[in-house]
C-alpha cells in the first residue's frame, strides 16, 4: 500500500482519503464481475451461445432505436441544438452543446468550452462522461429498457484533450461518477 500512498508525498497532491475503502470497492467490483461471468456461462449453457448473443444484440438494437426516437422527438419539439453551461465549485466551466440530426436521431455531444484540467482530483476521464451521458439518455427515453451500450450507438463525442473531462494521463481524476 506504500506505493498507493506515495502521491501524498508530492507537494500539492493528496493520496487517497481512505485506502481501505478503495481496496474494498475494488474487491467488490471483482466479485461482481465474477458473478456476472458465472451467470453468463449458465445462460449460455442453458440456451446456447447463438441465442444469447442474438438476444444481447436485440437488446442493444432496441436501446439504440429508443434513444434515436427520443432524440428525433426532442429535435422536433425543441430544435436540433441544445446547450448547457454549469460550473464546478472552483468556477471551472463544463460546457455541452448537443447537435441532433432530426432525420437519423444521431447526435454530437460536444464539450468544447469546458475548462482545462485542474491540479487535484476533480478531473474526469472520458469514461465518466460517457457513463453520465448513457445514464441521462436512458432516463430521458421514457421506456423501461436496460442500460446498455446501444444507448450510445447514435452518439458521437467531442471532448477536447486536456480539458476537465479529458485530462492528461498523469492528471488526478475523480474516483467515480460524481459530476
pLDDT band at 179 (very low <50, low <70, confident <90, very high): very low
**Is the confidence at residue 173, as pLDDT, over 80?**
yes
State the Cα–Cα distance between residues 135 and 144, nearest whole angstrom.
13
DSSP H or E stretch at residue 158: strand 155-158
CA angle at 94 for the pair 93 and 95, rounded to the nearest 5°:
110
Picking from 151, 173, 57, the residue whose alpha carbon sits closest to that of residue 105 is 151
**Interval 117-148: pLDDT, tens:** 998 888 999 999 999 999 999 999 999 999 99
Please give the share of the chain, as a percent, with pLDDT higher than 90.
76
**Is the confidence at residue 34, as pLDDT, over 70?**
yes
Q: What are phi and psi of 20, to 5 degrees?
A: -60, -45
**Is the confidence at residue 178, as pLDDT, over 60?**
no
Q: What are phi and psi of 109, to 5 degrees?
A: -100, 110
**Is the confidence at residue 10, as pLDDT, over 80?**
no
**Interval 140-160: pLDDT, tens:** 999 999 999 999 999 999 999
Residue found under cell 481512505:
18
Spell out where 88-152 has E strands.
93-100, 107-110
**Interval 81-109: pLDDT, tens:** 999 999 998 899 999 999 999 999 999 99
CB 152 within 8 A of CB 105: no
pLDDT confidence of residue 20: 82
User: Helix 19-47 vs helix 49-78: angle between axes, to the nearest 10 degrees?
Assistant: 120
What's the average model confidence in pLDDT over 71-85? 98
CB 11 within 8 A of CB 119: no
The structure's pTM equals 0.82
State the Cα–Cα distance between residues 160 and 157, nearest whole angstrom.
9
Please give the share of the chain, as a percent, with pLDDT higher than 70.
90
Amino acid at each position: 500500500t506504500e506505493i498507493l500512498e506515495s502521491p501524498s508525498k508530492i507537494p500539492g497532491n493528496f493520496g487517497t482519503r481512505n485506502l481501505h475503502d478503495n481496496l474494498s470497492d475494488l474487491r467488490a467490483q471483482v466479485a461482481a464481475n465474477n458473478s456476472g461471468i458465472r451467470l453468463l456461462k449458465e445462460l449460455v449453457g442453458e440456451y446456447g451461445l447463438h441465442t444469447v448473443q442474438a438476444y444481447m444484440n436485440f437488446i442493444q438494437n432496441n436501446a439504440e432505436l429508443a434513444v434515436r426516437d427520443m432524440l428525433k422527438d426532442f429535435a422536433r419539439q425543441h430544435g436540433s441544438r441544445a446547450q448547457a453551461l454549469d460550473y464546478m465549485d472552483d468556477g471551472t466551466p463544463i460546457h455541452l452543446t448537443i447537435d441532433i440530426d432530426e432525420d437519423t436521431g444521431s447526435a454530437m455531444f460536444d464539450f468544447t468550452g469546458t475548462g482545462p484540467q485542474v491540479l487535484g482530483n476533480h478531473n474526469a476521464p472520458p469514461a465518466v462522461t460517457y457513463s453520465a451521458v448513457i445514464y441521462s439518455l436512458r432516463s430521458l427515453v421514457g421506456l423501461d429498457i436496460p442500460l446498455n451500450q446501444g444507448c450510445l450507438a447514435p452518439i458521437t463525442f467531442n471532448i477536447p484533450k486536456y480539458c476537465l473531462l479529458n485530462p492528461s494521463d498523469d492528471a488526478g481524476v475523480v474516483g467515480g461518477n460524481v459530476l
